[in-house]
């Protein structure tokens, strides 16, 4: 049986890396997607060492429809966990909303 493969947006963020940690421990493959606007690649390095595996990271902004479509077309994902977001006080609520909404359109086609 094929292993499940999940896309985790915000995969270099706090919540995203914790989800990735649990998914890998559960035998799932993960592809992390993050603009690295707030994310830390050092968190991914830590996970690679912990699980003794390579973890693909797509450095992409979720508002880049073309890049997202290419990633979805080139992978047979079992599902997507969407944690890419702007959460800091002071960041525009409108910008945060755009971040949250725009992943849905290409991902759900």
Ligand X SMILES: NC(=O)c1ccc[n+]([C@@H]2O[C@H](COP(=O)([O-])OP(=O)(O)OC[C@H]3O[C@@H](n4cnc5c(N)ncnc54)[C@H](O)[C@@H]3O)[C@@H](O)[C@H]2O)c1
- Using CB under 6 A, list all residues that contact ligand X: 10, 12-16, 34-39, 61-63, 83-87, 99
Q: Closer CB to ligand X, residue 41 or residue 53?
A: 41
Q: In angstroms, rounded to a whole number, what is the distance separating the alpha carbons of residues 103 and 106?
A: 6
Smaller CB separation from ligand X, 5 or 96: 96
The residue written with tokens 């755009």 in the block is: 98
Q: Which residue is nearest to ligand X (CB)?
A: 13
Q: Which is nearer to ligand X, 16 or 20 (CB)?
A: 16
């Amino acid at each position: 049986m094929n292993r499940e493969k999940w896309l985790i947006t915000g995969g270099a963020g706090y919540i995203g890396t914790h989800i990735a940690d649990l998914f890998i421990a559960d035998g799932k493959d993960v592809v992390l997607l993050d603009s690295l606007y707030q994310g830390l690649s050092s968190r991914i390095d830590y996970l690679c060492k912990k699980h003794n595996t390579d973890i693909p990271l797509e450095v992409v902004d979720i508002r880049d429809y073309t890049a997202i479509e290419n990633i979805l077309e080139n992978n047979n994902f079992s599902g997507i966990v969407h944690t890419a977001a702007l959460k800091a006080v002071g960041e525009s609520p409108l910008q945060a909303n755009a971040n949250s909404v725009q992943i849905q359109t290409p991902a759900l086609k």
